[in-house]
Chains A and B, each alone.
Chain A
């Protein structure tokens, strides 16, 4: 395990590391805002034609859009988090360096991703969200308790998001190349997290399925907690169950994977 104090240090380092990419952050904020605008007008048209779609009114649909843009980078819904680096390290064999350390591999990368997520929430999330709340109708709660519940839900979302991508990344031990995996992370992330359309609005059986998958824990559940569309304990239970299951699966795969380390490079 190593010393517990190393993990906060890793998270702090990851935070500072992302903070050094200022131009990328600014470009990201701009992109999220523009995409938010496009989606908002699309949603407005859609909810005009289908009022109450997915149980949301127009203000809720718009809030959902801005929430999605604000959390996109934080939850690395399209990839681009720690897993890009981890896959590259596995591919080049550089992962060996990580294994020489007296630390737990999964906790090490989790700490890394938490540091990154916190930076992305502040650096990439706040501005698009405030922009949306200022210039468009919004369905935001007044009570601090709901915001608190939302933050907890967000933390659980970070764990699930990490756990999903950790499993994807470890597959490179067998696949030996991460390009296809990165694509898979992106496609499943965007579709199953509800980045295109709220999962609540998915019809019939498909809706039932995607709402039960772990990706639902990333955007849909925190959004519903914030807008009071779900019972908080049930939401936490759903997220925590997926987090525990996927993190445990990650540990299992990790122990199988590290035995294969040597195959890639000297």
Chain B
């Protein structure tokens, strides 16, 4: 057994949903949000955790952080059963939601940090040291005395990341940390996370819709769909399995017949002087670009990354393993653990 920091063994989570079906009539229905999910994450790993909306990502994170109790299975984070010892675990983890904030909305940023200082019982010297380091790395110096409500989204995001790291958590859960950020802010956040992971060996679980987050940060990616793990491995492998394609958009000097591209690249759309070419995501665009530039009057070009949903959808179709949404209306009674 290696040093498994996060360990899930056949974890299930079933919710009972009551739906109104008529006047005073309710229908009870069980929804299996997580279905026999098993995986391990080693200490210091940085893992991308992706899947379509409603796949069970945030349910998993809620179980990992202890605010939700699994219906069945065994779950350990740092050797702790999260739902039993939520508060103890809370001292050792950090959580950042892209769309939510832990910061005190009406008060200056520094006030939230002072609160964290007390909340996590961070020794004074440690607090000062961490605060200084985070302020420098995340460029928060000018912002400490600004009320949080006046911060831009990118600034607030950096403020939230700092808040989650003041107490030196061993594991960091990130949910869409770059959502809505401009390119510069995205780059800054990613650079910081990479540094954090290499220098402090913080274990990071990253949930995102942005494939570039994963590409630039994670050597390993897990894909969840309908509560099941459908892929666990390198990102490159995901592209292969999902046969995902990038798109090269070229602007030519004038309207021309579809570009004669070397297979497997092919023109998928033509609109006036602009043409769209699809090519495998695992291949470099350089060869294709050079070839087109040599033979066509090229004005401009750009490359579009495949979006994560498309890759996953394609992968699921490709393997023919599209699980039906489990209705679960029959089955034996599910006991909600307390």
CB of A260 to closest CB in B, whole Å: 9
- Given A17-B107, A261-B68, A262-B15, A10 and B115 contact (CB-CB distance below 8 Å): yes
28 A-B interface contacts by CB (under 8 A): A3-B120, A3-B121, A6-B115, A6-B119, A9-B115, A9-B119, A16-B107, A17-B104, A20-B106, A20-B107, A20-B147, A94-B100, A96-B100, A97-B95, A97-B102, A100-B65, A100-B93, A101-B102, A101-B119, A102-B88, A102-B90, A102-B91, A103-B87, A259-B338, A261-B62, A261-B68, A262-B67, A263-B17
Q: Determine if B198 is an interface residue (Cβ-Cβ < 8 Å).
A: no
Q: Determine if A204 is an interface residue (Cβ-Cβ < 8 Å).
A: no
Contacts of A99 in B (CB 8 A): 65, 67, 86
CB of A22 to closest CB in B, whole Å: 12
Do A9 and B107 touch (CB < 8 A)?
Answer: no
Within residues 115 to 135 of chain B, which ones have a CB less than 8 A from any CB in chain A?
115, 118-121
Do B90 and A97 touch (CB < 8 A)?
Answer: no
CA of A266 to CA of B55 in the docked complex: distance in angstroms? 11
Residue of chain B at shortest CB distance from A104:
B87
Q: Determine if A142 is an interface residue (Cβ-Cβ < 8 Å).
A: no
Do B121 and A100 touch (CB < 8 A)?
Answer: no
Contacts of A103 in B (CB 8 A): 87, 119
Do B15 and A97 touch (CB < 8 A)?
Answer: no
Contacts of B33 in A (CB 8 A): 262
CB of A101 to closest CB in B, whole Å: 6
1/0 per position for A2-35, CB-CB distance to B under 8 A?
1101100110010011001000000000000000
Residue of chain B at shortest CB distance from A16:
B107
Interface size class, chain B = 35 or more
Residue of A1, A10, A258, A266 near B67 (CB, 8 A) is A258
1/0 per position for A95-120, CB-CB distance to B under 8 A?
01101111100000000000000000
1/0 per position for B68-94, CB-CB distance to A under 8 A?
110000000000000000111011010
Residue of chain A at shortest CB distance from B69:
A259
1/0 per position for A224-266, CB-CB distance to B under 8 A?
0000000000000000000000000000000000110111001
How many residues of chain A have a CB within 8 Å of chain B? 25
Do A16 and B118 touch (CB < 8 A)?
Answer: no
CA of A96 to CA of B102 in the docked complex: distance in angstroms? 10
Do A2 and B87 touch (CB < 8 A)?
Answer: yes
Do B58 and A266 touch (CB < 8 A)?
Answer: yes
Do A17 and B101 touch (CB < 8 A)?
Answer: no
CB of A97 to closest CB in B, whole Å: 5
Residue of chain A at shortest CB distance from B111:
A13
CB of A172 to closest CB in B, whole Å: 16
Q: Which residues of A contact B (CB under 8 A)?
A: 1-3, 5-6, 9-10, 13, 16-17, 20, 94, 96-97, 99-103, 258-259, 261-263, 266
Contacts of A94 in B (CB 8 A): 100
CA of A21 to CA of B57 in the docked complex: distance in angstroms? 39
CB of B50 to closest CB in A, whole Å: 14
- Given A17-B104, A17-B106, A259 and B336 contact (CB-CB distance below 8 Å): yes
Within residues 324 to 338 of chain B, which ones have a CB less than 8 A from any CB in chain A?
336, 338
Within residues 255 to 276 of chain B, which ones have a CB less than 8 A from any CB in chain A?
none
Question: Which secondary structure characterizes the binding site on chain B?
Answer: mixed
Contacts of B90 in A (CB 8 A): 100-102
CA of A208 to CA of B90 in the docked complex: distance in angstroms? 48
- Given A96-B62, A99-B67, A100-B90, A13 and B102 contact (CB-CB distance below 8 Å): no
| 10 further contact pairs, Cβ within 8 A, besides A5-B121, A13-B107, A97-B97 | A2-B87, A9-B114, A9-B119, A20-B106, A20-B147, A96-B100, A101-B102, A102-B88, A261-B62, A266-B58
Contacts of B282 in A (CB 8 A): none
Contacts of B102 in A (CB 8 A): 97, 100-101
CA of A18 to CA of B111 in the docked complex: distance in angstroms? 14
CA of A262 to CA of B33 in the docked complex: distance in angstroms? 11
Within residues 1 to 21 of chain B, which ones have a CB less than 8 A from any CB in chain A?
15, 17
CA of A100 to CA of B65 in the docked complex: distance in angstroms? 7
- Given A97-B101, A259-B69, A102 and B111 contact (CB-CB distance below 8 Å): no
CA of A17 to CA of B101 in the docked complex: distance in angstroms? 16
- Given A13-B104, A17-B107, A1 and B121 contact (CB-CB distance below 8 Å): no
Contacts of B338 in A (CB 8 A): 259
Q: Determine if B59 is an interface residue (Cβ-Cβ < 8 Å).
A: yes
- Given A2-B119, A262-B68, A100 and B107 contact (CB-CB distance below 8 Å): no
CA of A6 to CA of B121 in the docked complex: distance in angstroms? 9
Residue of chain B at shortest CB distance from A258:
B67
Residue of chain B at shortest CB distance from A89:
B100
Residue of chain A at shortest CB distance from B86:
A99
CB of A148 to closest CB in B, whole Å: 30
CA of A193 to CA of B33 in the docked complex: distance in angstroms? 45
CA of A142 to CA of B106 in the docked complex: distance in angstroms? 40
CB of B288 to closest CB in A, whole Å: 38
CA of A94 to CA of B97 in the docked complex: distance in angstroms? 10
